[in-house]
Amino acid sequence: MSEEPEAPFLEIPEDDSESTEPSEETADQPESEEPAQAKPKRRPPWRRRRRAPAPEPEPEPEPEPQSEAEYTAEPEPAPRLILEPEPEPEEPEPEPQPDPPIVAGRDLRKRYGSGNAAVNALNGVTLSLPAGSFTAIMGPSGSGKSTLMHLLAGLDAPTEGEVWLGPTRLSDLDEGERTRIRRGRVGFVLQSFNLLGMLTAEQNIVLPLRIAGREVDAQWLNWLLHAVGMHNLRGRRPGELSGGEQQRVSLARALIGKPAVLFADEPTGNLDSHNTDIILTMLRRACQDLGQTIVIVTHDPQVASHADQIVFLEDGRITRVASLSET
C-alpha cells in the first residue's frame, strides 16, 4: 500500500467577492433616421440645453462627421451613470502571530479503569512545546510520564482535554487519520522497544517507511546506523542483541522517517555512559541541525540536563518547569 506524504494543511478561504462587471455605457442611438440632413450627435439628457421658445432656431454648429465608428466609440464619460464597482474596503493587515507550538496539550486527564479500580494517571496537564525544542519529562515512577507521552504522540486518547499536533487537533480525527498523521510527523521510542523478532536490526529500522510506502534514504540510514553504533550489527535479529543495542535500534527506527517530533520514553535507560553520550549528542544534533522537536522521558538528571527545558510531573500534574536554555 502506498501512501502520500503528509501534505501541509492549507485552507484557502473561498473568495466570495462577486465580480461585478461595470455596466457598459452605450452610445445614444439616433431616434429616427433623417437621411436628407446630417444630424448632429444627440447629446445625453444631462447635457442638453434648454432651448428658449424662440421661433428662430439657433444656428446649429457645424455637424460633426457621422460615421459608424462614431456610434461605436466610447461616449464621453458620464460620471453619474457609470456604475463603477464600489472600492473594496481595505482589509486590515493581519497581526503577526507567533509560531504555533508543534505539540500542545490542554487540560489533559487520563483515567484507566473505572469504579474503585480507576486510576487517574493524569489530572489536568497543560503544556506547549515550540518547534525545534528539546524537552525532558521527569518524575517518580507512576507519576504519569509515559501516559503523557503516549497522549502527546497520539498513541492513546485522553479521557478529557485536547492534544494539538501543529494545527491539527487529534481529537477531531478518527483512528485512521491519527495513524496517518503519526506516520508522517511523529517518531517514538517506547519503553518496551517493540522490535520485530524475525527482522534484522536494519529491517526493523526501515520498517516504518516500508509500512508507509516511503522510499528509504540510504545515506540517512547509513548515518543513523553509524550514529547509534549499530552499523556492524545491522544484520542481527533482536534476540541476538543486548537490551542497550535493541534500544539503539529502536531509536534509529524512530528517526528514519525524519519526523517533525520525536518522543522517546527512557531512550538511554539501558545504556552505559559512553552510549548515553552518543545518543544524547545525536538527539541534540537532530534538534539543532534538522530542527526536530524532541521530547524524552528520563529518570537521569544528567540526561535531562541536555534538554532546553525539564517538565516535572508528580501524581499526574506538572509541579515545575525548569528552563535550561537561558542559563
Ligand X SMILES: Nc1ncnc2c1ncn2[C@@H]1O[C@H](COP(=O)(O)OP(=O)(O)OP(=O)(O)O)[C@@H](O)[C@H]1O
Residues engaged in binding ligand X (CB under 6 A): 112-113, 119, 121, 139, 141-147
Return the amino acid letter for 7.
A
Q: Which does 119 bind (CB under 5 to 8 A by kind): Mg ion, ligand X, none?
A: ligand X
Sequence-distant contacts of 109-112: CB under 8 A, at least 24 apart:
109/158, 109/159, 109/160, 109/161, 110/144, 110/147, 110/151, 110/156, 110/158, 110/159, 110/316, 111/159
Q: Using the minimum distance from each CB to Mg ion, give the nearer residue, 146 or 298.
A: 146
Minimum Å distance from CB 271 to ligand X? Answer: 16
Minimum Å distance from CB 316 to ligand X? Answer: 7
Minimum Å distance from CB 155 to ligand X? Answer: 12
Task: Answer yes or no: are the C-beta atoms of 162 and 171 closer than 8 Å.
Answer: yes
Q: Using the minimum distance from each CB to Mg ion, give the nearer residue, 102 or 138.
A: 138
Residue 146 touches Mg ion, criterion: CB under 5 A: yes
Q: Which does 133 bind (CB under 5 to 8 A by kind): Mg ion, ligand X, none?
A: none
Minimum Å distance from CB 210 to ligand X? Answer: 29
Q: Which residues contact 49 (CB under 8 A, 6 or more apart)?
A: none
What whole-number distance in Å separates Cα of residue 185 and Cα of residue 22?
A: 49
Q: Which does 268 bind (CB under 5 to 8 A by kind): ligand X, Mg ion, none?
A: none
Q: Using the minimum distance from each CB to ligand X, give the nearer residue, 147 or 268.
A: 147
Minimum Å distance from CB 295 to Mg ion? Answer: 13
Q: Using the minimum distance from each CB to ligand X, give the nearer residue, 78 or 118.
A: 118
Largest Cα–Cα separation, the chain: 122
Q: Using the minimum distance from each CB to Mg ion, give the nearer residue, 146 or 293.
A: 146
Binding span for Mg ion by CB under 5 A among 144-152, 154-162, 168-176, 316-324: 144-152
Return residues touching Mg ion (CB under 5 A): 146
